[in-house]
Amino acid sequence: MKKTDELEHVWNFSDPNCPIISEWPSFENKGSSCKFDIMGKACLDTKDDIDVLLKKGLRGYFRGMKQAKYKNYSSAYRFWVNEGLYPYFNPSEALPERFLIFCEVILKIVEKSKISEKLKLFYQSQALRPILNKDFFYFSLLQHFGAPSPLIDVTRSLKIALFFAIENIPETDLKLGQGNKIDDYVAVYYFPTDIFLLADTSQSFSDLAKNGDAKVFLLDDSHQKKNIIYSNENIIAQQGAFLFLDPWVEFLEKATGNISIKVSCGTKSRNIYLPKIECFNIHKGLASYIRKRLLADGISKDTIYPTKKAIAEEIRKAVCQEALLP
């Protein structure tokens, strides 16, 4: 197999085996895999809509997307397709097996790098708990710092999901009342707490991927008392967790949609019901209003992406201010 930087792009869209990254062309089309029940409508177009949504008190997991037309693929799957890597990594195998092997190759690359042990020791010392599973520990780091990972970010906070949805929308972008196509909206997805199976993180990535039962697994450090799956300042500040898709499922919406599956748990089995994903499509013209609401609640770029230097500086300012008080 050639090195990645030497691979030629060999996309052949007439080839039925060629995977693609697809998008939702319209809200009507998106409605086939997503539902809009909580707000009673597909699109949120007014400030009142945002106020009502925030008052719902929803609990569970959320995911903010900068485009409502985007489907929920993992960054590793997007990279695998967009870089034209699908013909490689055991080309005689079916596409899901090839993608699984690609993810395993990523882990091997990280394992071979000199920094891997230093990273593990550093984060372990920060959390003061042993790392439970190095596979998902590495993938969580890759996901949060822009490298290909088969994990999908979620957060336990609706407000933080809203932050990510509007993060890159400038103040001068689309105004309210302008545009009503899917391109004019961002999206926030909502997953109730009990719809996904909590991953058995004592298993390796490969073993969990070959589980064969559940299509979506949840990885959440808050469920771990003695060990950690992942740990860094960003994940903690963002109240973050992850979803992991079965490699036989290209994107999250394909794994859900009023589906009932039987999952084996040792000698027992139980049925898990995966409903359609709840989605809030939010007009980009509301970005400024949402940003102000979030700032009022102390949510900003500084709190979402904290650094030790910034934290120390904030403490220094607070101490100086307190010292100057009469």
Decide if pLDDT at 271 tops 80.
no
Decide if pLDDT at 221 tops 90.
no
pLDDT above 90 coverage of the chain, percent: 35
Decide if pLDDT at 185 tops 60.
yes
Structure tokens at 295: 């700032």
Q: How confident is the model at residue 294 (pLDDT cuts 50, 70, 90)?
A: very high
> Residue 313: enclosing H or E segment and its boundaries?
helix 308-324
Nearest to 192 by CA among 282, 272, 97, 124: 272
Long-range CB contacts for residues 303-310, cutoff 8 Å, separation at least 24: 303/237, 304/160, 304/163, 304/234, 304/237, 304/238, 305/234, 305/237, 306/233, 306/234, 306/237, 307/233, 308/233
Q: How confident is the model at residue 272 (pLDDT cuts 50, 70, 90)?
A: low
Decide if pLDDT at 192 tops 50.
yes
Residues 6+ apart with CB under 8 A from 226: 129, 130
Q: How confident is the model at residue 197 (pLDDT cuts 50, 70, 90)?
A: confident
Q: What is the DSSP letter of 228?
A: B
Decide if pLDDT at 137 tops 70.
yes
Give pLDDT, residue 11: 41
Q: Distance (Å, rounded) from C-alpha 244 to C-alpha 26?
A: 26
Say which amino acid occupies 320. Answer: C
Q: How confident is the model at residue 6 (pLDDT cuts 50, 70, 90)?
A: very low
Write the Ramachandran bin of 161: left for phi over 0, alpha for psi from -120 to 50, otherwise beta: alpha
Decide if pLDDT at 263 tops 90.
no
Q: How many domains does the chain have?
A: 1
Nearest to 304 by CA among 236, 221, 218: 236
Q: What is the pLDDT of residues 303-322, one digit of tens each?
A: 888 776 666 676 677 777 76
Q: Distance (Å, rounded) from C-alpha 318 to C-alpha 322?
A: 6
Range of the domain at 197: 4-324
Give pLDDT, residue 150: 92
What is the arithmetic mean of pLDDT over 102-112?
Answer: 85
More confident residue, 186 or 267: 186
What is the arithmetic mean of pLDDT over 25-29?
Answer: 94
Give pLDDT, residue 13: 44
Decide if pLDDT at 301 tops 50.
yes
Largest CA distance in the chain: 76
Q: How confident is the model at residue 290 (pLDDT cuts 50, 70, 90)?
A: very high
More confident residue, 101 or 140: 101
Decide if pLDDT at 65 tops 80.
yes
What is the arithmetic mean of pLDDT over 265-270?
Answer: 53
Residues 6+ apart with CB under 8 A from 34: 189, 253, 276, 277, 278, 279
Nearest to 205 by CA among 103, 115, 292: 103
Give pLDDT, residue 187: 97
Q: Distance (Å, rounded) from C-alpha 289 to C-alpha 291?
A: 5
Decide if pLDDT at 229 tops 90.
no
Give pLDDT, residue 87: 83
Decide if pLDDT at 232 tops 70.
no
Q: Distance (Å, rounded) from C-alpha 212 to C-alpha 261?
A: 11
What are the distances in angstroms from CA 276 to CA 111, 183, 189? 37, 22, 11
Q: How confident is the model at residue 109 (pLDDT cuts 50, 70, 90)?
A: confident
Give pLDDT, residue 315: 66
Residues 6+ apart with CB under 8 A from 225: none
Decide if pLDDT at 295 tops 50.
yes
